[in-house]
Amino acid sequence: FWENSDIVVREDEPASIIALALSCTDYLTKKKQFRQEPENPTPADVDASIARRFRAILASTSIARNLKRVNNTNIRYAFQNRGVRAQCKIFFAEPFDAMRRKCGVAERFVESLSRCLKWDSKGGKTKSLFLKTLDDRFVLKSLSAVEVNAFFKFAADYFAFVHAMLFDGLPSVIAKMLGLFQDTIRNPVTGMEFNWFMLIMENLFYDRTTSRRFDLKGSMRNRKM
């Protein structure tokens, strides 16, 4: 339990550390700053429907602008309580927040991440750790340092692609990546030590009934000639 927070950090649920970081006062202040949300965007005497449309325009402009951010805005938080130390580093805070807003998951994101469980994905040869939020909305996958560095190299192109997809109607069936974090927790009493880069993706099967599923690969090496 952490002071001034409703989030309970569980050692076997690394997503809860991310939820703690995204709900802390400092991050909420920074988020408001890079969203550039005005305190009172419309006068009090303006019609409610007009005010809603105006706020929607401001939000859409903010989202489009932040998706085009070239610089990687990283934010690191450290928490300590009774000898237990936890850290969370938030990568590309601005464009990922913009993505979550545009995709309509920003308001529930912290709530979803507050509880997760290990998930046997039954696929992949990378020995990655897979988790899924208890509400089934998001999938978390651990990344190696090599994979994270690769993402850093193409991140600007990825966010430009997402901007074209969300604003210009570019067709795509790629599962959306909605956040990249580094989670660390150390408990000297229990001996627990966790340090992973975690990628958060949408769960394509959330609230959907499917009759067939295909695992599509882009590897030329695995293509049958």
Note down pLDDT in tens along the chain; length 225 residues. 776 788 888 888 889 999 999 999 999 999 998 888 655 555 555 566 766 676 777 788 888 888 887 677 899 999 988 888 999 999 999 999 999 999 999 999 999 999 998 887 655 566 788 999 999 999 999 999 999 999 999 999 999 999 999 999 899 888 899 999 999 999 888 888 889 999 999 998 888 888 887 776 665 655 554
**d(C-alpha 113, C-alpha 46), whole Å:** 37
Please tell me the pTM assigned to this model.
Answer: 0.84
